[in-house]
A = this chain, B = another copy of it.
Amino acid sequence: MIIVMKHGASREQLLAVKQRIRDLGYKPHVIHGATCNVIGAVGDERGKAVLQSLESMDGVENVMPILQPYKLASREVCPEPSIIELAPGLTIGGEQLVVMAGPCSVEGEEQLIETARAVKAAGATVLRGGAFKPRTSPYAFQGLEEEGLRLLDLARQETGLPIVTEVVNPRDVELVARYADILQVGARNVQNFPLLKLLGQQDKPVLLKRGMATTIKEFLMSAEYILSEGNRRVILCERGIRTFETATRNTLDISAVPVLKEQTHLPVVIDPSHSTGHASLVPSMCYAAVAAGCDGLLVEVHNSPETASCDGPQSLRPSDFAIVMEKLRQFAAAADRKL
């Protein structure tokens, strides 16, 4: 921590801050500046939010952290990229790109199976589909719940594709974990800490979506909640952040890919569907995501977008998805990745 003293702070105020730093178990180190003094508090500052409270002391201008607040998610602890097993024979984080595709929500057997076969045929290696749907409106379709999970299981049997599906309620974690291969945390739950802790105790990989207003630092702290409970299989998913721009549903923060690659060893996946909100924008964002260095994609595909009960406008038709996958192979090659 760096504690900046106010211009004109007294010697007594400086001494009091130094003493308090010592009381907290740190070593104070003063730099006498041209217009103000600065104190470095030497020691491991992680987990010590209490240092921030020094800002309430007289004469203190502000308190600036130096270190990133996460440990297990950091490159320091794990310098090499993590390669995570998603299902037998399928990993993410290595050379192989992983495309997870399917409908926003499971609506029925025909819809799911038809879509699942189509995405498998086009080259997807994971099937996505929501059974528990967090919807903005209490009057909107809330998902088929356990019936939806059973349909996903059926689709897995039909296609051999492992399943990624969302869990919303800590109460449902065990239930969803019985069916799913990968447990998804939605953007609205990125700081649902009881849910994250519980997922940290599961023996299944977790796909953690960034929230609409979550900084990259906070995103990694949420991953840290899962990691620190013992589950090291965390996949990060950038899905657009909320900005002033309304031409897209959210703004895809594509530069989060290289930023995350510098700061963490965890694999990074891009969701081009929720970020843009419009199917016509999805193909180019798939290509851009792979070119930016992501490890996988999470794409909404629906066999009949115009009758979808949820997120139709952003869903690709199976035929369009197949074209995207074809083109994607060339970008994957340029990025030294396999698809």
Contacts and interface: CB of A to CB of B under 8 A. Distances in A.
Given A134-B191, A134-B193, A136-B218, A66 B38 contact: yes
A312 interface: yes
A318 B318 CA distance: 44
Given A171-B194, A194-B171, A56 B259 contact: no
Nearest to A332: B334
Interface in A194-228: 194, 197, 211-213, 215-218, 221, 224-225, 228
A55 B251 contact: no
A244 B211 CA distance: 12
A89 interface: no
Nearest to A250: B255
A288 B254 contact: yes
A246 B252 CA distance: 15
* Total copies of this chain within the assembly: 4
Interface string A270-307: 00000110111100110111111100000000000111
A147 interface: no
A319 interface: no
Nearest to A70: B137
A22 interface: no
A150 interface: no
A313 to B, nearest CB: 4
Nearest to A331: B334
Interface string A7-42: 100000000000010000000010111111010101
A45 to B, nearest CB: 8
A215 to B, nearest CB: 6
B247 A215 contact: yes
A159 interface: no
Contact of A255 (B216, B276, B331): B276
A215 B248 CA distance: 11
A253 B255 CA distance: 9
A189 to B, nearest CB: 7
24 contacts: A4-B66, A29-B31, A31-B31, A31-B40, A33-B42, A46-B137, A50-B309, A55-B312, A56-B306, A56-B313, A70-B137, A135-B193, A137-B221, A138-B228, A212-B213, A217-B247, A241-B244, A244-B244, A248-B255, A254-B254, A254-B288, A255-B275, A257-B284, A291-B291
Among all A-B residue pairs, the 9 with the closest Cβ atoms: A53-B312, A47-B139, A213-B213, A291-B291, A330-B334, A56-B305, A287-B291, A55-B313, A169-B194
